[in-house]
Amino acid sequence: MAISRDEVLRVARLAWLALSEDEVDRLTGELDKILDAVGVVSELDLADVPPTSHPLDLVNVWDEDVPRASLPLQDALANAPEAENDLFRVPPWR
């Protein structure tokens, strides 16, 4: 499966990445090799392989959820670069 230069530029734009011409050329080649490697899996006969969500058994290592008082607003906003109306102030979306 080949990836085009335009597709690399589109993905970079969606990810808000500014790529140089050299980076676009390099990534086009690298992503093409990655897609070829992943495409090999689709050629395998996996009819007898059961689907799995994770190769290892998962064990919950978290503590029991216990309700408790939340962080006071002043403490939550204490290190914020900017706050406005009891909210974090962030730059506008581009």
Identify the structural domains of the chain with CATH numbers, from first to last.
5-42 (1.10.20)
Residues with Cβ within 8 Å of residue 36, at least 6 apart in sequence: 1
Residue 3 CA, chain-centre distance (Å), reads: 20
Which tens digit of pLDDT belongs to each residue from 4-14?
999 999 999 99
Nearest to 81 by CA among 73, 92, 89, 93: 89
For residue 87, give both structure tokens: 């909210």
Q: Does pTM top 0.95 for this prediction?
A: no
Beta bridge partner(s), residue 33:
none
Q: What average pLDDT is seen over the chain?
A: 90
DSSP state of 56: S
